[in-house]
Structure 1
Amino acid sequence: MGKLSFLLAEDYIKPKIYFKSKQSSTINDIFTSEDKKYFSGLENLAQLLNAPRGFIVNAFQIDYYQSLPRLIAKSLKKSHSFKKLYILGPELSLSILKRSTKTIYETQYNGYEYINVEQDTDFVTSQCEKLIQEGHILYILPETNVCWKPQYKSESDDIPHSLCSTLLSQQLHVPILATAYENGSEKIKLFSPDSPDSYSGDLENRIFAQSEALCRLLESTKK
């Protein structure tokens, strides 16, 4: 009994180790003070980066320096996220972006890829659906809306007023992070995520309403 008592006592005083569940990265964990100089609303980006599902970035601004894509790519690396960033746009725009990346090292460090939306519409749409379902990020350049309309599940032949981002958002049930330059500055504003669940009605009405809401955000930065 003496040996048994000793073993029981040893087990009783043995230090207990508790494992904490993985915490979501905070803004200060992901972004630097330098990032905060050039971007506002970083908490909105952090919220989506920490979420398991994919999302869409609706870029109202032409960002040929790729400051926002670079920030997102850097943040993904820093937070060890499985997500990857894909930039969507017409061939000319993508060529300009690629030329601005001067070295192979820089290309590898940025860690994002490009999707030419002037390819076959069905192929591009299918590719976007797959990437979103895998939890990745689609960054849609502003000029993309002129040359590409994703295929949508509707009996109507045309949705007259829509953005590529809202078509995808409503069909794939993922949020949109709208971005634009703040009025009178070079600072990029990241708005609160726009959820497809905020809109009701049939598909066309939801897409129309969401497109209108995003356009109002853009107008709000010009006042």
Structure 2
Amino acid sequence: MKIQKKHIVLSILFILPLFAYMFFASGVNNFAKLDTVGENVLTNDSYKSVFKDSLVTFQDKITILSFLGADVDTKKAYAFNLKEKIYDRYKEFKDLQFVSVVLPGQATEVKSFMEALIYTSKADKWFFIELNNQQNQQLFKSLKTDLILDKFQSSSHVFIIDKDRDLRGRLEDEDGSKRYAYDMASVAELSDEMNDDVKVILAEYRLALKKYNKDENE
């Protein structure tokens, strides 16, 4: 009886690690890439950053894009959720940037917002770009989503744009719908769905970089 128990224990000790490996290996294969839900987001080669002596480009960057429009003072409360739940967790990733689009006339509000952002931690990868009403709408429409801008030409939703200027999300979400964006007003949505999806796209590029470096060294 003791010998039989010993065999059972040894079998479990052998099988469990093997099962775990197969499970996670399968997970990597199934979830290594975040779905592309839109292509060719309309962006310029570069935009001048508001209050920062730098140019902002979407090419070769993973961009977390938000539209604050002419409502910075209100939408900044949602953006603080984004900073706490997403930015502060992933700010060390080299090619990740956060870009908020604002309309002209928001300079005072943007400056106040920037000062608040850096109060608790650095926000050197968070940029603000100023577009006129037409440019703002063109950029938003190029995302080709089922969302719309409000009367202030702003949105509470935030988008993930990859290095090739494609929109990433989920072709089929848990409720069967297509996910184009994440609601900054919902801390739960940022903590769960968006956090998971940002992890996936960052892992995707890490794996691609490792493969590239390996191929270069062979």
Q: What TM-score does the superposition give when structure 1 sets the normalisation length?
A: 0.32
Structure showing greater Rg: 1
